[in-house]
Structure 1
Amino acid sequence: MDADLPATASPSPGPAARKRPKPGERRTQILQVLAGMLEQPGADRITTAALAAKLDVSEAALYRHFASKAQMFEALIDFIETSVFGLVNQIVDNPHPLPPPGKAARITSVMLQFGEKNPGMTRLMVGDALVYENERLVARMNQFFDRIESSLRQALRAAAEAQGSLTPTVQANAQASVWVSFIIGRLQRYARSGFKRLPTEQLEASLRALAQ
């Protein structure tokens, strides 16, 4: 998992591991272990019992920090949104145009690189880890990709206008749909291949083909 993300390493053995966590540490540890469990290829649905066992605590201890498993997933989704949109917004708001294939390609690269470095988060993004979970989690990830498509549309419309397109909005809408479908497809393939088919595979050539 990327160094900027919650670490998934197990607590060190010995007396130090039995220290009472400082305020907030246990909550972070729960999310770290949950993210690590999501990184296991072909993992079954994660239960609070399995999560508690990994942490060597009771399920009641989990609920002292999170009201439900859905709330734990929401905390991970918060992290995804903050990490990805922090970068995407920088790209979109940059007043200087990027050389072809442009800002849409940079946004796509950010998405796929994030997924590659964080396989557990990828399973959340494409919904594999949300099967049988709360429907609002699925809706939230759908909204996440709607926002990505909107960012792509904005970047592509600016590019179309710069190229003198007579219908920049129509062109951008169609192109953004294709770009976001490419992103989702690459992330799904990564998750469903057991993280063997990297989403950035032949990325530069693929981005050039999309930009044509």
Structure 2
Amino acid sequence: MATKPGERRLQILQTLAEMLETPKGEKITTAALAGKLECSEAALYRHFASKAQMFEGLIEFIEQSLFGVINQITGEEERGFRQIELILGLLLNFAQKNRGMTRVLIGDALVNENERLQLRINALLDKVEAALKQALRIAATQETFKAEADFGALANLLRCYVVGRWEQYARSGFSREPLAQWPQQWPMLYFACLSQAGDA
């Protein structure tokens, strides 16, 4: 039974993501990918115009997966700090469950690939940071924040925390799991934000 075009595209992306899970992080070639799929390189190019387009497919999957849930969180949860907690937990959990995608998120898998791919990841992370900044603004309406509280700096701090955990996960050969110390670290992050509140 023939595989439908959409199913074959998904199969190619899944295989690419699996190949990215190798801790050594060797450069992935279309020849190696075709070998894994037991097809010719020409067969790959019937579904994707280039390897860069395959990586774009992975980035689109990441965007849809993350922002589908982030939009749900911000739409259903009224408390700003709870939004932040849920968004950060989502970002850490996604990486822990998707090793290959983590290497895409930190740019490790994009070295020597088309530079527009890293620009897309940068834009994705900027959107995450913007969502965190908005949640902080909501929290500010529920807490007595100092007049000089810098929501941009706080949102960037939270973004850097997540990216740092992703980096540690990938660089450790996926042994230092992002969620390992989350229960202890979230209160620390929470109080770092809350320290910008008035008498809190």
TM value normalised by structure 2: 0.91
In the alignment, is residue 122 of structure 1 matched against residue 136 of structure 2? no
The CA RMSD over aligned residues, in Å, is: 1.4
Structure 1 portions without partners, runs of 5+: 1-18
Q: Deviations over 1:3-38 (max 9, x none)?
A: xxxxxxxxxxxxxxxx53233222121111111101
Contact 2:102–2:166 under 8 Å retained in 1:
yes
Contact 1:160–1:171 under 8 Å retained in 2:
no
CA-CA distance at 1:95 after TM superposition:
5.2
Q: What does 1:11-30 correspond to in 2, within 5 Å?
A: 19-30=1-12
1:177 equivalent among 156, 159, 162: 156
Q: What does 1:92-103 correspond to in 2, within 5 Å?
A: 92-94=74-76, 96-97=78-79, 101-103=81-83
In the alignment, is residue 199 of structure 1 matched against residue 181 of structure 2? no
CA distance in 2, matches of 1:26, 1:173: 42
CA-CA distance at 1:166 after TM superposition:
4.2
CA distance in 1, matches of 2:99, 2:34: 21
How many equivalent residue pairs? 191
Greater relative contact order (Cα 8 A, min sep 6): structure 1 or 2?
2
CA-CA distance at 1:104 after TM superposition:
1.1
CA-CA distance at 1:41 after TM superposition:
1.2
Percent of pairs with identical residues: 51
Amino acid at match of 1:93: G
Contact 1:160–1:172 under 8 Å retained in 2:
no
Instruction: Give the number of the structure whose residues are more often helix, by fraction.
Output: 2
- The DSSP-based 3-state class of the residue aligned with 2:150 is helix
The residue aligned with 1:12 is: none
CA distance in 1, matches of 2:143, 2:9: 50
The residue aligned with 2:125 is: 145
The residue aligned with 1:15 is: none
Amino acid at match of 1:68: S
Amino acid at match of 2:27: R
CA-CA distance at 1:156 after TM superposition:
0.8
